[in-house]
Amino acid sequence: MHLRVGLAGLGTVAQGVLTLLSEQADVISARAGRRIEVVRVASRTRREEAVLGDAQFSHDLASLTDPSEVDVVVELIGGETSASELVQSALGAGQSVVTANKALIATQGQHLAELASNNGAALRFEAAVAGGIPVVGALRTGLAANRISRIAGIINGTSNYILSAMANDSADFASVLAEAQRLGYAEADPTFDVEGIDAAHKLAILSHLAFDIPTAFDAVYCEGISQITLDDIAYAAELGYVIKHLGIARQDDAGVEMRVHPTLLPKKALLAKVDGVMNAVMVDGHASGPTLYYGAGAGGAATASAVVADLIELARHSEPAPTVPTVAKSLRSIDDAVSACYLRVDCLDRPGVMAKLASVLSAADISIESIIQHEAEVRRRGEDSWVPVVITTSAVSEARMNAAIASLAQLPEVHGDVTRIRIEGLA
Ligand SMILES: NC(=O)c1ccc[n+]([C@@H]2O[C@H](COP(=O)([O-])OP(=O)(O)OC[C@H]3O[C@@H](n4cnc5c(N)ncnc54)[C@H](OP(=O)(O)O)[C@@H]3O)[C@@H](O)[C@H]2O)c1
């Protein structure tokens, strides 16, 4: 008996799924062991450009949650309200669900996994992280024998595009964002992407799979890229680094740490070479060693590739694979994190200022690795002239660095906020 699919949504990804299932129908049937057929489609708008074949169309999402007609519901409407209702209703009826909805899985994943398990259904979400890159499958199966110590990834194409274009074209954040919006790489409201929320959703999902913890989006520390300046990019380059927006999760005996923030990476690091809208995820397993997954993190066809992979897996097995059992572990606060830092402190151009900065850091027991001040960078504001001083430090706890930054900001010679960007070697 073929696998009967009910498709929710007719947007970018849903149209990609319809195209891929139709273009690759014979290969997919052969690999899945049976035909995969979209029998029902439900969406707010009947988009004429979408070719539905023999599928019945309805505006009513509830038309999909009929287990006598539909085996698997594919949720591609996005958002958290209607999508959650649909997914819960399908799982409650014993239908398996495939979704690309990272916000839904990151915030409600635990509850939905239990619902699936209680009703003998499967919940699959390969497309929810890094679009076309099969990293969910790698964690679920390929690396399943490993104790994972770290995940580090560029998991938001929009912010990576913006940082890459700022570095390559010497254009500031606002103008690159406007260009990204014009090209369709950034939404009209870019907050989710540039403030790191989308990456935090994905990191919560990856951490769930890697560390066997319930999805815990609220425990992910999140900082965006909107404060990164061309000065920071140029100083980072001078120091041998590239600025990337990374999601980093680590597990050790003390627990699990999850954070998303701009990061200075050495130019020679593999992730430093990932440019434009591309995504990449590095996973360190104790047996596998470091592994790296690279590819398109978004786009109709790439994301459809992941959705259809989930459908093929479901078609291959008559029994759903068990959901990942989770264990509560200590989720560490950002205050516990330890990293080397880049500091940019805009200072009045007066003698003795560097010594004052150094003494504040020394009083906080923070070692300076390097310090840069270019006389050519002196800028004027009213009567004052000021100059950026850039300092890199050795590894220091967040709490200690926060206190030192607060002390630096109180110096009368310091102008405006102190910029801090964490440095990762990814060794
Ligand atoms: N696009 C990507 O590259 C990408 C990559 C990875 C993951 N995803 C995820 O995939 C999902 C779909 O993304 P997309 O880019 O395909 O979105 P999209 O182009 O905006 O399409 C969404 C579709 O769902 C319909 N819809 C929205 N709310 C609905 C509701 N309450 N009831 C019925 N239909 C509704 C929309 O109808 P209208 O036509 O009336 O608007 C539209 O057809 C999202 O969860 C997204 O985060 C997307």
141 and 97 part of one domain? no
Residue 16 clears pLDDT 90, i.e. is over it = yes
Regarding whether 66 and 9 lie in a shared domain, the answer is yes
Confidence of residue 324 (pLDDT cuts 50, 70, 90): low
Distance 183 CA to ligand 1 centre (A): 19
Which of the four pLDDT bands, split at 50, 70 and 90, describes residue 351?
confident
Ligand 1 nearest atom to the CA of residue 131, by list position: 6
Q: Do 264 and 378 belong to one domain? A: no
Which pLDDT score is estimated for 374? 87
Q: Model pTM greater than 0.75?
A: yes
Which of 245, 273, 296 is where one domain is finished? 296
273 is catalytic: no
Using pLDDT thresholds of 50, 70 and 90, give the confidence band for residue 349. Answer: confident
Distance of CA 8 from the midpoint of ligand 1 (Å)? 9
Kindly state whether residues 113 and 160 are assigned to the same domain.
Answer: no
**Are 36 and 145 members of one domain?**
no
With a cut of 90, say whether residue 169 has pLDDT above it.
yes
Task: Name the residue of 10, 77, 161 to mutate for ligand 1: max ligand atoms within 8 A of Cβ.
Answer: 77
pLDDT band for 386, please (50, 70, 90 cuts): confident
Q: What are 390-418's pLDDT values in tens digits?
A: 999 999 999 999 999 999 999 999 988 99
Residue 307 in domain: no
pLDDT tens for 193-213 read 999 999 999 999 999 999 999
**Ligand 1 centroid to residue 10 C-alpha, Å:** 7
pLDDT of 103 over the 70 cut: yes
SS3 call for 269: coil
Say if 401 falls within a structural domain: yes
Tokens standing for residue 264: 């200075």
Q: Which of 202, 244, 273, 356 is catalytic?
A: 202
Q: Of all atoms in ligand 1, which is nearest to the CA of residue 78?
A: 45
> What total of structural domains would you count in the chain?
3
Q: Considering only CA atoms, which residue is closest to atom 15 of ligand 1?
A: 12
Q: Does the structure show a pLDDT above 90 at 375?
A: no
pLDDT of 384:
78
Of all protein residues, whose CA lies closest to atom 39 belonging to ligand 1?
Answer: 45
Residue 138 DSSP label: I
Q: What is the mean pLDDT of the chain?
A: 95
Give the pLDDT band of residue 181 (cuts 50, 70, 90): very high
Q: Where are the alpha helices (DSSP H) in 190-323?
A: 191-194, 197-211, 230-238, 300-316
Read off the pLDDT of each residue in 315-322 and give the average, rounded to a whole number.
79
Which of 12, 81, 98 should be mutated for ligand 1, with most atoms under 8 A from CB? 12
Task: Give the end of a domain, one of 296, 326, 354.
Answer: 296
Q: Is residue 19 part of a domain?
A: yes
In a domain, 330, yes or no: no
- What's the pLDDT tens digit per position in 113-151? 999 999 999 999 999 999 999 999 999 999 999 999 999
The CA-CA-CA angle for residues 73, 78, 81, to 5°, reads: 90
Count CB-CB contacts under 10 A for residue 231: 14
pLDDT tens for 223-264 read 999 999 999 999 999 999 999 999 999 999 999 999 999 999
In a domain, residue 170? The reply is yes
Give me the mean pLDDT over the 97-103 stretch. Answer: 97
Using CA atoms, how far apart are residues 391 and 400, in angstroms rounded to an integer? Answer: 16
Q: Given pLDDT bands bounded at 50, 70 and 90, which one contains residue 325? A: confident
The CATH number covering residue 346 comes to: 3.30.70.260
Residue 20 has pLDDT above 70, yes or no: yes
Q: How far apart are CA 256 and CA 211, in angstroms?
A: 8
Of the pLDDT bands very low, low, confident and very high (cuts 50, 70, 90), residue 309 is: very high
pLDDT, position 242: 98
* pLDDT > 90 in the chain, percent: 89
Instruction: State the CATH number of the domain containing residue 11.
Output: 3.40.50.720
Ligand 1, atom 29: closest residue by C-alpha: 77
72-75 and 3-8: which strand pairing?
parallel
pLDDT digits (tens, 9 = 90+) for 67-94: 999 999 999 999 999 999 999 999 999 9
Kindly state whether residues 124 and 161 are assigned to the same domain: no
Same domain flag for 124 and 219: no
Q: pLDDT value at position 322?
A: 65
Taking the centre of ligand 1 as the mean of its atom positions, its distance from the CA of residue 11, in whole angstroms, is 5
**Do 285 and 163 share a structural domain?**
yes
Ligand 1 is surrounded, with C-beta below 6 A, by 9-14, 43-45, 47, 61, 76-79, 82, 100-102, 127, 131, 298-299, 303
Q: Are residues 143 and 292 in the same domain?
A: yes
b/e 97-129 (16+ beta carbons within 10 angstroms → b): bbbbbbbbbbbbbbebbebbbeeebbbbbbbbb
What residues make up the domain containing 342? 337-423
User: Structure tokens of 328?
Assistant: 């509560």
Atom of ligand 1 nearest to the CA of 43: 34
The DSSP call for residue 54 is: T
Beta strand 241-252 with 148-154 is antiparallel
The reply to whether 30 and 178 lie within a common domain is no
Same domain as 207, residue 175: yes
Residue 322 lies in a domain: no
Do 139 and 197 reside in the same domain of the chain?
yes
Q: Is residue 306 in some structural domain?
A: no
Ligand 1 mean position to 184 CA, how many Å? Answer: 15
**Domain boundary, last residue among 128, 152, 171:** 128
Give SS3 for 33.
coil
